[in-house]
Structure 1
């Protein structure tokens, strides 16, 4: 049987934390089953997974407002290495126009001139520095007295999600045009498919180029607590080290935290992954997918990470081969049952019960399943694997099975 979906179900207990906060500094939350639950947003989890995937050595993509800057920087680096001169303004204009074409149908001469000047200025201030360093500098700059907030907005690109190969190829084409070895390029992105796994997995859209949108092959849920949320307010002070004769704090404020057992899922749409990812089935594809799945299982947002100790491992991970995307609800909030406290063991038992109910309801929806972690005596109607490594192999092999 050819796999349609592979879904991972994760239960993790997080001690005191504020990994993902709202605009008021509070841990994100939602109402479910009539009670307020703690929440980690899907976006924050995908961001964490992308970062972990990159840290594993996969520099396949860049999500940035500085795409035109990065293209220009690469052209200049190549020109410097070859000892040739290029027309800086012409290079910047090509890069800016190509990036803008992805998100707007209009680029008049005034806007093009403003963005060209902005990129040129950033190049001057960040000479010899990386894209990450330039991004940090650009993020801290404030508009001058002569630049209004509106002007500042017009000189910044909308954030775009590009593969490294697209940036490299476009920069090479611009360089070739500048040295008389090719025509001026106009298209930065040429295909909806991508060789970058994280782009294929999480998708991307371009407002002005809908036909180039990459459909996401991996759905990531919000993580929500399986029980009622409790908010903790932490009153704190900062004491002045050098001032003498001063009784009291130099700074007083409050932080907000919560804790709990969270349930979350990710689902790999195998057909969509094959359609969106050009490297599907190529050498190294299994290793790359395994690194991404590991990141989806382990990576967490980093809010207040230096003030808390929320780097825990999942208590349990269940993987299912499915013909229809299925997740499980914890609509009835769990409550502490005895003086030992805790929700993890109850959540594991409840997930096992819900899986058995689902397979009884329609066995045709499910293929093989495997589970690892604190399984104990719970019956998941699944193979129990010794560790996460074995579970990752199970997922990857079923994604590529029959293809």
Structure 2
């Protein structure tokens, strides 16, 4: 029998980004927040969750039919499948698609007839399951009058198809449909807004562009000009994954759950929001990634940076030491000691740093972060730690 005790994987990341505008507000400025009395750069959780979802397909190569899509065009996608697999005309498929969605799902049209009134997050395989409900009688159904068609599809379990066999991104990030609470899926992950560990100032890049086909004698001025706001920062990023809840969202399929855990652990670390990426080429990799398996509660260690890190000789190493000290404090003072820890970082970067209470900075880091590993090795170590808690072989 599967062990249902809670198991959380906390992911702590320190990542330095050069001049960039990863995630802008409605005025085009990099998003910001006040924390610890200092203005910090902020990257919203939504921005990094979308980057993670895109990484599943683009970087990890997970097939699209195993992933979800968030769209208002659910009726259009369903109609296209009906046309292809049920061999009905596009017009008939659209009519049948609308009937299927309107009764059991109460999906209503938006401003455009081809779009629903709200975004719906679902798996492509779930649409295939809906098609399977009617594929062998699609011609019969589309020949009915509107009232008869509505009555005929009323008994079909359309909603049930969207509540089973969730793709991994729906299982991870959840689904909220205010108009149809029965379609809601509680997320197995929580992602914090990334914050800079130090104060930031927003700067401006003034740019001009010239017309290549004009001579200097004809016009020496710029054809256009403008500004882009940017900043640079060392970010603290945090996410937590409830492994048992993820398994529940994935119909308790252990191997699929392990696949999803592995995918999230890598994609969240290596992904990057794409705001102004062509302008700034800001894609970096983290200086520290620490995976911590907990059996009590998730612990966001952002308090390590409530007092902002200030330095003119590099931020990342000092931030790593602050993070280690906060991790050790939560263990010592609150008894919140991780069951397993695996970390990617460079201990040599801590050499020569100041200590306190006669502690060696490298020893403090080793206590908090465990042995040094590469990313693949760290992920494997965490999978090894959590698998027994999924398959029921863990000791009680």
TM class by shorter-chain length? Answer: 0.7 to 0.9
Deviation of 1:401 after TM superposition, in Å, equals 2.4
**Alignment correspondent of 2:8:** 5
Q: 1:351 aligns with which of 323, 326, 342?
A: 323
Q: Which range moves more in the overlay, 273-282 or 29-38? A: 273-282
Unaligned runs of 5+ in 1: 116-151
CA contact (8 A) 1:219 1:266 kept: yes
1:264 aligned onto 2:237: yes
**Alignment correspondent of 1:129:** none
**Alignment correspondent of 2:287:** 315
- Partners of 1:311 and 1:201 lie apart in 2 by 24
The 5-angstrom pairing of residues 141-160 of structure 1 reads 152-153=111-112, 156-157=115-116, 158-160=118-120
1:195 aligned onto 2:198: no
1:255 aligned onto 2:238: no
Unaligned runs of 5+ in 2: 143-151, 349-361, 391-396
Deviation of 1:159 after TM superposition, in Å, equals 1.3
1:101-160 CA-to-partner distances (Å, cap 9, x unmatched) read: 68757x5xxx6xxx7xxxxxxxxxxxxxxxxxxxxxxxxxxxxxxxxxxxx456531211
Q: CA RMSD in A?
A: 2.4
Q: TM-score, normalised to structure 1's length?
A: 0.80
Q: Which range moves more in the overlay, 163-172 or 221-230? A: 163-172
**Alignment correspondent of 2:297:** 324
Q: TM-score, normalised to structure 2's length?
A: 0.82
Q: 1:286 aligns with which of 258, 280, 284?
A: 258
Q: 2:127 aligns with which of 167, 174, 177?
A: 167
The 5-angstrom pairing of residues 57-136 of structure 1 reads 57-58=61-62, 59=64, 60-79=67-86, 84=87, 86=88, 88-100=90-102, 104=106
Deviation of 1:288 after TM superposition, in Å, equals 3.9
SS at match of 1:20: coil
**Alignment correspondent of 1:32:** 35
**Cα gap change, 1:74/1:155 in structure 2, threshold over 3 Å: closer, same or farther?**
closer
**Alignment correspondent of 1:375:** 347
CA contact (8 A) 1:348 1:375 kept: no
SS at match of 1:69: helix
Provide the aligned length of Structure 1 versus Structure 2. Answer: 351
CA contact (8 A) 1:166 1:189 kept: no
Q: Which range moves more in the overlay, 372-381 or 356-365? A: 372-381
**Cα gap change, 1:189/1:69 in structure 2, threshold over 3 Å: closer, same or farther?**
farther
**Alignment correspondent of 2:387:** 400
Deviation of 1:47 after TM superposition, in Å, equals 0.2
